[in-house]
Amino acid sequence: MISCDDKELTVSRRFPRTVRLRAEYYEFVDEPERFLQQLAEQKVPADLFTFLQRPGDPTPRFPYPHEFDHIAVLRIDTYEKWWKQQINDKTRNMVRKASKKGVTIRCSEFNDELVKGIQTIYNESPIRQGKRFRHYGKDIETLRREHATFLDRSSFIGAYFDGQLIGFIKLVHQGDTSNLMQVLSLISQRDKSPTNALIAKAVEICAERRCPYLQYGTWSRRSFGDFKLHHGFERMEVPRYFVPLSLVGRCALRLRLHRELAAYIPRSCLDVFASLRAKWYARHWPGVAQ
């Protein structure tokens, strides 16, 4: 495991070798010069270092080559404003539906009972959103370790029906931004709208904490785009910096080879691929909940 300034790092295997924070949407580099000096001292085997600026500030603050990532962010003033002005009647009815169906939403302690409930949700289906679900089949110890990150600044929100966990959110707080690190519900309980009610509770918590931004992953119409839009999320640009660490890195940056392959493929082609992949999984796993 490689770490720097008490932050875990990951290095890509593809060309050019790129190092970044393992939890880059939940941790940030506020003093890049000092961080780069530590990377050099540790002789990290990478050609490029990439990092994101904190959400909420789209103006580039550092003198490094940069592009813009698009993330999904909900601007929060008060819960009442979100409820009355930022979502539509359909979304409000979905939130109400959970309560009418007997779903209870509450903050949960991180303990064995919660982890076992999460495991049940993860193991419901090997396929989600038309692709293999990477958490399917993980053992309890692995799940406990993975969800124990950032416990000192995390809130777990559970959706319960008849005493069973049917959905959960892991909400990670940092400064003026909270981040939906995990949002998942049982597919079999979709008719009770637990995910909508969980989002509403997350907004309520952020409003109480006076947190102006709630991030929900990247902005993509292919990845819960409509769901995010209906809950008041919008696309926000965040500077992503690329700092060469070697001659190879400088050449890759000059030749624009620093992004992952998907970044150079037209969105329409990615949509077609995602659709074909979903159909393939549906054909080879008929009857599997997705």
Residue 157 structural domain: 73-235
Same domain, 52 and 77: no
- Is residue 35, in this structure, part of any structural domain at all? yes
Q: What pLDDT, in 10s, does the model give residues 62-72?
A: 999 999 999 99
Distance CA(268)–CA(227), nearest Å, equals 20
Same domain, 132 and 31: no
Q: What pLDDT, in 10s, does the model give residues 118-151?
A: 999 999 989 887 778 889 999 999 999 999 999 9
Locate 203 and state its tokens: 């907004």
Same domain, 85 and 179: yes
Q: What pLDDT, in 10s, does the model give residues 13-27?
A: 889 999 999 999 899
Same domain, 220 and 259: no
Q: What pLDDT, in 10s, does the model give residues 241-250?
A: 999 999 999 9
Same domain, 133 and 223: yes
8 Å CB contact between 68 and 237: yes
Q: Is the pLDDT of residue 223 over 60?
A: no
Distance CA(227)–CA(88), nearest Å, equals 12
- Is residue 194, in this structure, part of any structural domain at all? yes
Same domain, 208 and 121: yes
pTM: 0.87
- Note the pLDDT of residue 258: 84
- Is residue 290, in this structure, part of any structural domain at all? no
pLDDT band at 2 (very low <50, low <70, confident <90, very high): confident
Distance CA(149)–CA(288), nearest Å, equals 31
Locate 181 and state its tokens: 């690190």
Q: At 130, which helix (H) or strand (E)?
A: none
- Note the pLDDT of residue 33: 95
Same domain, 114 and 244: no
Q: Is the pLDDT of residue 285 over 90?
A: no
Backbone φ, ψ for residue 256 (5° rounding): 60, 45
Same domain, 106 and 210: yes
Spell out the long-range contacts of 167-173 with Cβ–Cβ below 8 A and sequence spacing 24 or more: 167/121, 167/194, 167/195, 167/198, 168/108, 168/114, 168/117, 168/118, 168/121, 168/198, 169/198, 169/199, 169/201, 169/202, 171/202, 171/205, 171/206, 172/26, 173/209, 173/211
Q: What pLDDT, in 10s, does the model give residues 72-125?
A: 999 999 999 999 999 999 999 999 999 999 999 999 999 999 999 999 999 998
Q: Is the pLDDT of residue 289 over 70?
A: no
CATH number reported for the structural domain that contains residue 227 in this entry: 3.40.630.30
What's the number of domains the chain is made of? 2
Q: What is the mean pLDDT of the chain?
A: 90
8 Å CB contact between 199 and 167: no
Same domain, 78 and 43: no
Same domain, 63 and 81: no
Same domain, 101 and 207: yes
Same domain, 112 and 203: yes
- Is residue 183, in this structure, part of any structural domain at all? yes
- Is residue 289, in this structure, part of any structural domain at all? no
Please report, rounded to a whole number, the percentage of residues in the chain having pLDDT higher than 90: 72
